[in-house]
Structure 1
């Protein structure tokens, strides 16, 4: 199968040049092993090699022997390898020695010995529309964030194509399957998360309760649904139990909250602090509620929620190499911004997400962005953009950009 170029390729190359070991994390089946394997000179697959347990029991350093960079795939199955890698990097004083891939965030000893100064961390996600080939990439996010106006005629991604992209997701391993097979594969993925994967994040949990909580999250995707509401919807879990289950799902990268932004406002309004809830891929949320692309056509409100989640997902993928982090904001007067990309230098850009591209929808979104930006203290004016499901990409007379997601790229 042809390798699909990923935004993470360049990030991994840069990380190997600056650190002794690189930890590549992300949800299962997002492409970590394949991407890392293309950079590795040797590989040990810890989830399938039967000799590994004996080697680790005798001397974990035995597993590290091999040409560099050496890939330790699914390293978290043998947590003692973390310290073995840490010591090997210290002893050799060489960069680019190891790549560790994992579908579970490190805990325990790995947290106590964080590897600061030795490990670079790289978060991988499922494919953005640009990576999957559904966006032509004529509008560069990097250029947009520097103030360059977008300019692109209508993208080739039509409305029904967009709904199919949401339903099929950005899973590299499902490329080549037909729509029915893809939907079934995502359903299998959700079942595996509830029945098997979530237990890898710690103690054994009730799979039925895990699934009910995931369904409650799916219904409320891209919203600020509270722990209390999730506990009430799920019915059989306390708020503390919901928090613990959410933490377990986060540690296996199945969910990724969008934190609230902090800023100083000119008015007495206060910013809400609840995160927005997202799955690692919007297709997983749709699968959990039993839907597909056809069903989305009949529920445009939910399609809008999933489209916002898709836009946030793609902004995360495309802004990460730029040092960007993606937040959301809502103040106590109701003014909101669906996504805020903040860069390391403190500059920020605001994005409103609209499934439709009608003049009325864009006007409303642009006015909302401008009103919010006017209320934020700062030395630099932010870049403001409305992301639409289709249409052309351009800069309006008021300075607000309009960008179709089918034209957005790195």
Structure 2
């Protein structure tokens, strides 16, 4: 049942208990639940009467828990799963679990022996295509029109379900600014000034973009390795195709070597999003952070496993490796001791590389291709 349908909403409003109990022996899927968050009270009542799991699947295009009309959080009665766009592995029918694979592979020479036919061009094309099912098959002007229309509808219509008082133009301006600094540190005061927002409103606007699943943040990793660690999160537009469109970056432009700096942030955001997707099914549960301190040591992504061990990831748009790219990873290795499983520089090349003890280079295709046969 979809609550986008006026008939369905009318039935749910007329008899909420009867509506949620109409498929007692199976699973009732209620799509766009945010259209009628008050329905959670009836769902809670029927779940309390019959605790069999799997009776309901509630889906929506914004975070139900952030809606003004929600009457019950369903705490203890429901589990929440963030559903990202399609991963590259899903699109190509491959099992993609970089972290699960690395845990075993970093103990031997598998990374150095890895090679791929996946070229830089295909990575750029994947970034610009994005991950939304309705978007990935489109190209050219139709692709751009789809993104523009999607953002217009989400910002001008869906956002009203979450917040009645906001300015759509400033919300979109804020989204553009985040895309322009894709995978950069989130400095609220600077964003508020650039977007023309009062400093007191910036947090609410950022939360709104997060609730619409347009923006994701990566929290800072602060393990007290130094006393000068920076505690700001990084922010990114979650879908790489949307981020590229907001930047006015076409695949042809990004293929140009002179656009390498522009590609860097988009590539890091793309890698981050792929890892966020894989985080929902990985064989090795992990948390994702970034690290930087005021002495200059930084690592794009820090993966912390449940046992406290750490894998560092650097993302570079070049097709070759050099010593400078491993500086932050060496810092982690030398300060973490046995906790440090290994560090990897991901780039747009096609061959694996051993730099030093516990430090490797890999093509970005390792995210979705097996490291060994």
TM surpasses 0.5: yes
- Map Cα deviations across residues 326-367 of structure 1 (whole Å, 9 max, x no partner): 11111121111101122233222111111113132xx22223
1:403 counterpart = 2:365: no
2:31–2:59 CA contact under 8 A, matched in 1: yes
1:62 counterpart = 2:19: yes
Structure 1 Cα separation of the partners of residues 96 and 183 of structure 2 = 26
Instruction: Sort the Cα spacing of 1:145 and 1:111 in 2 relative to 1 into closer, same or farther, 3 A.
Output: farther
Instruction: Sort the Cα spacing of 1:381 and 1:89 in 2 relative to 1 into closer, same or farther, 3 A.
Output: same
Structure 2 Cα separation of the partners of residues 229 and 389 of structure 1 = 32
CA offset at residue 109 of structure 1?
7.8
Which residue of the partner structure matches residue 116 of structure 1?
A: 75
Which residue of the partner structure matches residue 351 of structure 2?
A: 392
Instruction: Sort the Cα spacing of 1:186 and 1:148 in 2 relative to 1 into closer, same or farther, 3 A.
Output: farther
Structure 2 Cα separation of the partners of residues 108 and 231 of structure 1 = 24
Instruction: Sort the Cα spacing of 1:139 and 1:243 in 2 relative to 1 into closer, same or farther, 3 A.
Output: closer
Structure 1 Cα separation of the partners of residues 76 and 338 of structure 2 = 33
Instruction: Sort the Cα spacing of 1:109 and 1:280 in 2 relative to 1 into closer, same or farther, 3 A.
Output: same
Structure 2 Cα separation of the partners of residues 250 and 87 of structure 1 = 30
Which residue of the partner structure matches residue 295 of structure 2?
A: 333
Partner SS for 2:223: coil
CA offset at residue 272 of structure 1?
0.8
Instruction: Sort the Cα spacing of 1:399 and 1:343 in 2 relative to 1 into closer, same or farther, 3 A.
Output: closer
1:137–1:407 CA contact under 8 A, matched in 2: no
CA offset at residue 112 of structure 1?
7.4
1:137–1:408 CA contact under 8 A, matched in 2: no
2:117–2:350 CA contact under 8 A, matched in 1: no
Structure 1 Cα separation of the partners of residues 148 and 235 of structure 2 = 20
1:306 counterpart = 2:263: no
Question: Which of 173, 192, 195 does residue 156 from structure 2 map onto?
Answer: 195
Question: Which of 70, 74, 84 does residue 125 from structure 1 map onto?
Answer: 84
Question: Which of 191, 198, 205 does residue 245 from structure 1 map onto?
Answer: 205
Which residue of the partner structure matches residue 383 of structure 1?
A: 342
1:47 counterpart = 2:47: no
Question: Which of 75, 94, 102 does residue 144 from structure 1 map onto?
Answer: 102
Question: Which of 229, 232, 241 does residue 283 from structure 1 map onto?
Answer: 241
Which residue of the partner structure matches residue 21 of structure 1?
A: none
CA offset at residue 227 of structure 1?
0.9
Instruction: Sort the Cα spacing of 1:72 and 1:64 in 2 relative to 1 into closer, same or farther, 3 A.
Output: farther
**What is the number of residues matched between the two proteins?**
360
The alignment's C-alpha RMSD in Å is 2.5
1:260–1:274 CA contact under 8 A, matched in 2: yes
Instruction: Sort the Cα spacing of 1:110 and 1:395 in 2 relative to 1 into closer, same or farther, 3 A.
Output: farther
Structure 2 Cα separation of the partners of residues 280 and 57 of structure 1 = 38
TM-score (norm 1): 0.80
Partner SS for 1:194: helix
Instruction: Sort the Cα spacing of 1:193 and 1:401 in 2 relative to 1 into closer, same or farther, 3 A.
Output: same
Structure 2 Cα separation of the partners of residues 213 and 143 of structure 1 = 37
Structure 1 Cα separation of the partners of residues 96 and 62 of structure 2 = 35
- Map Cα deviations across residues 291-342 of structure 1 (whole Å, 9 max, x no partner): 2112223522111110000011111111232432211111121111101122
